Amino acid sequence: MAKIVLQGVTKLFKGKNSAAVYDLDLEVEDGEFLVVVGPSGCGKTTTLRMLAGFETPSRGVVQIGGKTMNDVMPKDRNLAMVFQNYALFPHMTVEKNLAFGMKVRRTPKASIGREIREIAEMLEISELLGRKPAELSGGERQRVALGRALLRRPQAFLLDEPLSNLDAALRAQMRIELKRIHAQYPVTTVYVTHDQVEAMTMADRVVLMQGGRLQQLATPEMLYDQPVNAFVASFVGSPKINLFPGRVVQDGSGPKVSFLTASYALNGSHGATFDAVSTREVTVGFRPEEIRLATGNDPELPVVKATVELVEPLGSETHVVARVGELVLTCKLPARCGLSAGDTVSLEFDTAQMKLFDTESGIRLG
Amino acid sequence: MTTIDVAEQVMPGKADVLLHASIPTGWKRVRMHKLMVNATLGVLGIVFLLPLIWLVDSAFNTHATASLGAPALSLANFRAALAAGAGGAIKNSLYLAVVSTLIATAVSTLAAYTLSRRRVPFKSTLLLGVLFLTGLPVTLLLIPTYEIFVHLGWANSPFYTSLVLAATSVPFAVWLLKNFIDQVPKEFEEAAAIEGTTEMRILWKIVIPLSLPGILVAAILTFINSWGAFLIPLVLDANPGNTPGAVGIYQFMSANGTVQFGPLAAYGILFSLPVVVLYLVCSRWLNGGFAFAGGVKG
Ligand SMILES: Nc1ncnc2c1ncn2[C@@H]1O[C@H](COP(=O)(O)OP(=O)(O)OP(=O)(O)O)[C@@H](O)[C@H]1O
Ligand SMILES: [Mg+2]
């Protein structure tokens, strides 16, 4: 079992002037399930490849299990990896692909056969054992790649989008299987994904990266509720958080934020941040579920009039896109809300979770 | 479809004129081009075919001359060629070709893998040097090599002659294989490495199987080069019992003062048979193609 520590890890590729990964500090606890998310090209794969030893950090230290790994060969790191592009051996059958590592480690023949049968059953690839990778679909290949990694008891798992090519049902099932395996053998796992549901449901903690830099490292709930900046807020959550240009001003009784056609007196934690501010441009963020049809129960809450542009009934809920002047917002309303395009509605903003960001830097203010 | 739409927007009404005007001329050009290519290939084919026809004709014709003639079929020429030692010479050629191919292929595979995957100082200079060596005439090296052979007592030994033959093939084989291995995605080796595989085993289980088509091409080229070798065995091995086919044909041709076309042609056919067989066997293999399909995405 192993703790993974990255200290100031930077990776510069030859011929590129921006770093693929920049000054990354990260600690993955022993047995933790860490999920790495971020937009394409943000350095997720590069980070994993540095952990595996395929890339040497340009600066910084990689430690696994308390041992500095910078100069340790991949074969001596005792890790298992699922490659983003699978990297199944094309000249071997699925069975041989799965058996490869165990043969290298001189596992007795009988247990090789048994373990392959077990893992193949779990991944539903038992019928494919005799085929070559070229004769498999993308999702099947991916499951073989996953199987090859799971046949190890390594210090840590490095999984690069291991479920990206599966259909929704299979993905949900594999998610549960992976969590079950992790509960049974709590091996430190670094799991890269594009899928927010995977990030939120599987992670002990989530790392969000952008442009090679760590944006935030937090539990899924914290990431959702307490984003450090506007980028994190808009990356996490679906549909995306609504961000409106706004302005904080002082009137006689204290700071007030105005956005769209509404304005709202800042109080509590929000208020304290702006006590000393005369006026300031901010970005105001509301998640889609924080906007609802006006009830009028709390006259303090900001309310705007909007025109419905698009109604997306999802069965359990309805996503409604509405327009306020130049701006468009998305809200999550109950199922069968009875709205249709062109309707005029009054929308009420629940300010309990309202987020305010500095317009220029995007940093969260309150 | 989109191009039509765009054209119509830019200049209404002109779109169909453009389309209809351009297609026929385009077709004509393609057809002319094809005709020229085929005619050229045809002429070249005939130029190459004539000597071959002569060879086969003469081999089976007891009264063969330098000109083509209706054959009076017989195997007498083959008997004469075999009596002159064609069998032994072909066996000697086979030894030289097989041994040198094994050595050259092994050496160049290892060298190419290293050049492809490892950081080697002055790599591009080295590779250019290798490429330059492939163009160097062997004749240049033959006299010093002979001196060395005499000095070391290696002369008149088929094995050491094979070694020199191998050496002449290595530069090109390295060049070819290096470029081939460059095309094999590195992820396969990485996937093996992360399983704890040693480098030797990765080479043996992953790199070599995946580079097999390239290795085979290099081996065939080496084999053919060694099979037809004339000057090197002539100079380095004076033992008449070790004479390979190419030298044998030459000696046979000038043996009796007058050229015996029939037996000579038969000797030639016997000498080329193994290479033809090699081609037939390997073309199957090579048709398998250079596929890493299914291994990596995209
Ligand atoms: N071998 C390389 N040479 C040069 N640049 C590279 C190399 N590998 C990655 N990069 C660059 O580094 C950056 C990060 O790449 P990386 O593959 O880590 O992204 P990623 O987060 O895994 O993206 P994705 O989600 O699309 O897989 C990209 O800008 C990429 O172009
Ligand atoms: Mg990636």
Does domain A4-235 match CATH 3.40.50.720? no
Within 6 Å (CB) of ligand 1, which residues are found?
Answer: A 13, 16, 20, 38, 40-46, 84
User: Please, are residues B155 and B146 in contact by the beta-carbon 8 Å criterion?
Assistant: yes
User: Does B204 lie at the interface with A, CB-CB under 8 angstroms?
Assistant: no
Residue B69: predicted pLDDT: 63
CA dist., res. B92 & res. B98, Å (int): 10
Residue B143 corresponds to which amino acid? I
Closest-CA residue, ligand 1 atom 18, reads: A43
Counting from 1 in the atom list of ligand 1, the atom nearest the Cα of A42 is 21
What class has domain A242-358?
A: mainly beta
User: Does B257 lie at the interface with A, CB-CB under 8 angstroms?
Assistant: no
* Residue B8, φ and ψ in degrees, nearest 5: -65, -35
Pairing status of strand A79-82 against strand A156-160: parallel
Instruction: Say whether A95 sits in a helix, a strand or coil.
Output: helix
pLDDT in tens, chain A (366 residues): 699 999 999 999 998 889 999 999 999 999 999 999 999 999 999 999 999 999 999 999 999 999 999 999 999 999 999 999 999 999 999 999 999 999 999 999 999 999 999 999 999 999 999 999 999 998 999 999 999 999 988 999 999 999 998 999 989 998 998 999 999 889 999 999 988 889 999 999 999 999 999 999 999 999 999 999 999 999 999 899 999 999 998 877 788 899 998 989 887 777 677 777 678 899 999 999 999 999 888 888 999 999 999 999 999 999 999 999 999 999 999 998 889 999 999 999 999 999 999 999 999 987
What angle do the packed helices B261-287 and B245-253 form, to 10 degrees? 160
pLDDT in tens, chain B (298 residues): 334 444 444 444 444 444 444 455 666 777 888 899 999 999 999 998 888 888 888 888 777 666 666 666 778 888 888 888 888 999 999 999 999 999 999 999 999 999 999 888 998 898 898 888 888 888 888 999 999 999 999 999 999 999 999 999 999 999 999 999 999 999 999 999 999 999 999 999 999 999 998 999 899 999 999 999 999 999 999 898 999 988 988 888 877 777 778 888 888 889 988 888 888 887 777 665 545 555 665 4
Residue B10: predicted pLDDT: 42
**Ligand 1: distance of its center to the CA of A55 in Å?**
12
- Search chain B and give the residue with CA nearest A52: B194
Closest-CA residue, ligand 1 atom 20, reads: A41
Which of the 8 DSSP states describes residue A106?
T
| Block residue for tokens 């909007």 | A306
Residue A360 corresponds to which amino acid? E
Residue B80: predicted pLDDT: 83
Give the residue extent of every domain in chain B.
Answer: 16-78, 80-286
Q: Taking CB atoms and an 8 Å cutoff, what residues of chain A touch B198?
A: 75
User: Please, are residues A211 and A198 in contact by the beta-carbon 8 Å criterion?
Assistant: no
* ipTM at complex level: 0.86
Topology of the domain comprising B80-286: MetI-like fold (1.10.3720)
Residue A74 corresponds to which amino acid? P
Angle at B176 between CA B185 and CA B105, to 5 degrees: 100
**Ligand 1: distance of its center to the CA of A192 in Å?**
13
Q: How far is B297 from chain A (nearest CA, A)?
A: 5
Reading the block at residue B201, the tokens are 């085993």
Please list, in sequence order, all residues whose beta carbon lies within 8 angstroms of the beta carbon of residue A265, skipping any fewer than 6 positions away. A253, A254, A255, A256, A271, A300
CA dist., res. B197 & res. B188, Å (int): 12
- Search chain B and give the residue with CA nearest A88: B295
Residue B24: predicted pLDDT: 54
User: Does B39 lie at the interface with A, CB-CB under 8 angstroms?
Assistant: no
CA dist., res. A48 & res. A28, Å (int): 13
User: Positive or negative CA dihedral for A127, A130, A134, A138?
Assistant: positive
* Residue A277, φ and ψ in degrees, nearest 5: -90, 135
- Search chain B and give the residue with CA nearest A135: B294
Two domains, one topology: A4-235 and A242-358: no
Give the residue extent of every domain in chain A.
Answer: 4-235, 242-358
Percentage of chain A beyond pLDDT 90 is 81
At A37-94, the pLDDT tens digits run 999 999 999 999 999 999 999 999 999 999 999 999 999 999 999 999 999 999 999 9
Closest-CA residue, ligand 1 atom 29, reads: A41
Q: Is the pTM of this model over 0.80?
A: yes
- CB burial of residue B1 (10 Å; 0-12, 13-18, 19+): exposed
Chain B, window 167-196: residues with a beta carbon less than 8 angstroms from a chain A beta carbon? 185, 187-188, 190-196
